[in-house]
Amino acid sequence: MNEIRVRFAPSPTGFLHVGGARTAIFNWLYARNKNGKFLLRIEDTDPERSKSELSEQIIRSMNWLGMIADEPIVYQALNIERHKQVALMLLESGNAYRAFETAEELEEQRKIAQRNKVPFKYNRASLNLPEVTIKKYLAEGRPYAVRFRVPEGITEFDDIVHGKTSFKNSDIDDFVIMRSDGSPVYMIAVVVDDYDMKISHIIRGDDHLSNTPKQILMYRALGWNVPEFAHLPMILDEEKKKLSKRRNPVSTEEYKDKGYLPEALFNFLTLLGFAPENNAEVVSKEELIKLFTFERVNKKSAVFDMKKLNWINSEYIRNTDTNELIVIAKGSKYLAENGIDLSKFTDVYISSVIMLMKERLNTLNDLYDFGEYFFKDPENYDEKGIVKYWVAEIKPLFREFSKELENFKHWSLLELEEKLRIFAENRQIKAAQLIHLLRLSVTGKTVSPGIFEVIEIMGKDSTNRRIYNFLQKN
Ligand code: GLU
């Protein structure tokens, strides 16, 4: 069998959309599963909308997800001359023709179609122009586009996901392959590049399904082997609408910034449209490579379920080595934006915080959202907590207890707890009354992991400084 060669072909007109990332993942998994090649082609032929920063961002996001092209990245814009050459080949062989209509004339045709409530289809007025007229127009320097001549009949293919798929050629417009300014369009560029890159399988979103018959017709007209096609289901949001950035983040990089682990996002995106045989939900990349098969790819759209992503991510956080999490946390944009500079803390400290918090984290950003106080002294104290716990009869006792803490030598979880309980017992108050205040003064909050664990990690100086500040302010 020939080598399996697949490609992911994003247009750098935006960041890497999670839907695009999912397409890339299916290509990548298929290539790895079949010992084939995974290639990346940046489709940057639109000079106005393509941005090199966006190409870089896409590549960065791909790298972050662990998908690196097996051959040098192809930049489509560098192949424009070749695309033109092939367009001219189609022109010469009579599979394409010059269409001399002006933009205004086409607009007029479009309006008529609209008025008649039928889909616009180019009326082929230029198809049968006599040779002399063509010569005359060319001599006059009239601009023309090159249109592909769609033959009669039916175009059928066996889509790996959808099965037999057929299109009536009469529904297909004689589409433009080269604009009047001489620039080739996507439809031909993609065919030429896929052919030149020896792509065996084109795996892409369902939104490209209607392009496929046009592309197959071009392969045939050129006498080239038609690759296999697999069209992947679309991804919808929980309201069954197209994923939209108004409702969910859609940029892969944004998930990174929000504290998702790349392996978790990879796992989650793979399950959008693919279910491994055992229906497992937390599946490593290595396993996914082994299990991946188009037989278990859904035809129907998949729903992007944020809760499931959070759950998968929390599972990965729990199972990721703390040292690795430290490295990721140190590079976190979110922590930096919130004024947390982890380089000021020792790895031992950060590691103790992460180990204590691990069970509660959905994302690494929760390290800040739930545990900000480990890295910053509280500036404010939960108001309800103050009203509820900072009450007259306890105030002097808490002050007294804080003095004891300052002089306490055995700063360890068990001894701290024992000390507090004995103190409470002697004063005939509930330990909880002191515990609430200890938590409030040290964290500013009314909820946290076990407070003795918290202050054991924070250490004596930091704890006492916080209590001192609390007493000054309240
Ligand atoms: N560049 C196209 C896109 O970003 C993909 C082309 C293809 O996969 O055939 O939608």
Q: Is residue 404 part of a domain?
A: yes
Is the separation of the CB atoms in 253 and 60 below 8 Å?
Answer: yes
Looking up tokens 């940057």 gives: 44
10 CA from centroid of ligand 1 (Å): 5
Is the separation of the CB atoms in 202 and 169 below 8 Å?
Answer: no
Q: Is residue 101 part of a domain?
A: yes
**Quick one: pLDDT at residue 449?**
95
- For the chain, helix (H) and strand (E) counts, in that order, are 21, 12
**In angstroms, how far is the first alpha carbon of the chain from the final one?**
77
| Cα–Cα distance for residue pair 284/293, rounded to 1 Å | 15
Q: Are residues 141 and 94 in the same domain?
A: yes
Structural domain including 57 reads 5-70+189-234
Ligand 1 pocket test: pick from 190, 193, 202 the residue with the most ligand atoms within 8 Å of its Cβ: 190
**Boundary residue ending a domain (178, 207, 224):** 178
Helices 413-427 and 395-406 cross at an angle (nearest 10°) of 140
Name the DSSP class of 12: T
Ligand 1 pocket test: pick from 39, 43, 229 the residue with the most ligand atoms within 8 Å of its Cβ: 43
Considering only CA atoms, which of 288, 233, 246 is closest in space to residue 265?
288
Q: Are residues 98 and 226 in the same domain?
A: no
Q: Which atom of ligand 1 is nearest to the CA of 207?
A: 10
CA atoms within 13 Å, Cβ hemisphere of 349: 13
11 CA from centroid of ligand 1 (Å): 7
Q: Is residue 343 part of a domain?
A: no
Active site residues: 245
**Quick one: pLDDT at residue 396?**
97
Q: Which H/E stretch holds residue 21?
A: helix 18-33
Tell whether pTM > 0.85.
yes
Q: Are residues 22 and 94 in the same domain?
A: no
Q: Is residue 135 part of a domain?
A: yes
Ligand 1 pocket test: pick from 8, 75, 203, 208 the residue with the most ligand atoms within 8 Å of its Cβ: 208
What residue ranges line ligand 1, CB within 6 angstroms? 9-11, 43, 190, 204, 208
**Boundary residue ending a domain (234, 266, 299):** 234
State how many domains the chain has.
3
Q: Is residue 331 part of a domain?
A: no
Q: Are residues 65 and 106 in the same domain?
A: no
Q: Which atom of ligand 1 is nearest to the CA of 190?
A: 9
Q: Are residues 86 and 170 in the same domain?
A: yes
Q: Is residue 120 part of a domain?
A: yes
**Boundary residue ending a domain (158, 178, 198):** 178
Atom 5, ligand 1: residue with shortest CA distance: 9
What is the residue-level pLDDT of the chain in tens, covering all 474 positions?
A: 689 999 999 999 999 999 999 999 999 999 999 999 999 999 999 888 888 999 999 999 999 999 999 999 999 999 999 999 999 999 999 999 999 999 999 999 999 999 999 989 999 999 999 999 999 999 999 999 999 999 999 999 999 999 999 999 999 999 999 999 999 999 999 999 999 999 999 999 999 999 999 999 999 999 999 999 999 999 999 888 888 887 888 999 999 999 999 999 999 999 999 999 888 999 999 999 999 999 999 999 999 999 999 999 999 999 999 999 999 999 999 999 999 999 999 999 999 999 999 999 999 999 999 999 999 999 999 999 999 999 999 999 999 999 999 999 999 999 999 999 999 999 999 999 999 999 999 999 999 999 999 999 999 999 999 999 999 999
**Residue 84, C-beta contacts closer than 8 angstroms, at least 6 positions apart:** 178, 182, 184
60 CA from centroid of ligand 1 (Å): 18
Q: Is residue 254 part of a domain?
A: no
Helices 451-458 and 431-443 cross at an angle (nearest 10°) of 40
Look up the CATH number of the domain holding residue 463: 1.10.10.350
- Give the distance between the most distant pair of CA atoms in the chain: 112
| Cα–Cα distance for residue pair 60/62, rounded to 1 Å | 5
Q: Are residues 437 and 461 in the same domain?
A: yes
Q: Is residue 60 part of a domain?
A: yes
**β-bridge partners, 75:** 42
422 CA from centroid of ligand 1 (Å): 70
Q: Which atom of ligand 1 is nearest to the CA of 204?
A: 8
Look up the CATH number of the domain holding residue 98: 3.90.800.10
Ligand 1 pocket test: pick from 16, 62, 185, 204 the residue with the most ligand atoms within 8 Å of its Cβ: 204
Look up the CATH number of the domain holding residue 66: 3.40.50.620
**Quick one: pLDDT at residue 48?**
87
Q: Are residues 63 and 195 in the same domain?
A: yes
Dihedral, 371, 372, 378, 382 alpha carbons, nearest 10: -60
Q: Which H/E stretch holds residue 1?
A: none
**Quick one: pLDDT at residue 249?**
87
Q: Which atom of ligand 1 is nearest to the CA of 211?
A: 9
- In three-state secondary structure terms, 349 is helix
**Quick one: pLDDT at residue 47?**
84
**Quick one: pLDDT at residue 141?**
96
Q: Which atom of ligand 1 is nearest to the CA of 215?
A: 9
Q: Are residues 32 and 103 in the same domain?
A: no
Atom 6, ligand 1: residue with shortest CA distance: 9
390 CA from centroid of ligand 1 (Å): 62
Q: Are residues 139 and 173 in the same domain?
A: yes
Q: Are residues 382 and 468 in the same domain?
A: yes
Is the separation of the CB atoms in 351 and 322 below 8 Å?
Answer: yes
Atom 7, ligand 1: residue with shortest CA distance: 9
Q: Are residues 17 and 93 in the same domain?
A: no
249 CA from centroid of ligand 1 (Å): 21
Q: Are residues 394 and 425 in the same domain?
A: yes
- In three-state secondary structure terms, 450 is coil
Q: Which atom of ligand 1 is nearest to the CA of 10?
A: 4
Considering only CA atoms, which of 176, 103, 107 is closest in space to residue 143?
103
- In three-state secondary structure terms, 127 is coil
337 CA from centroid of ligand 1 (Å): 35
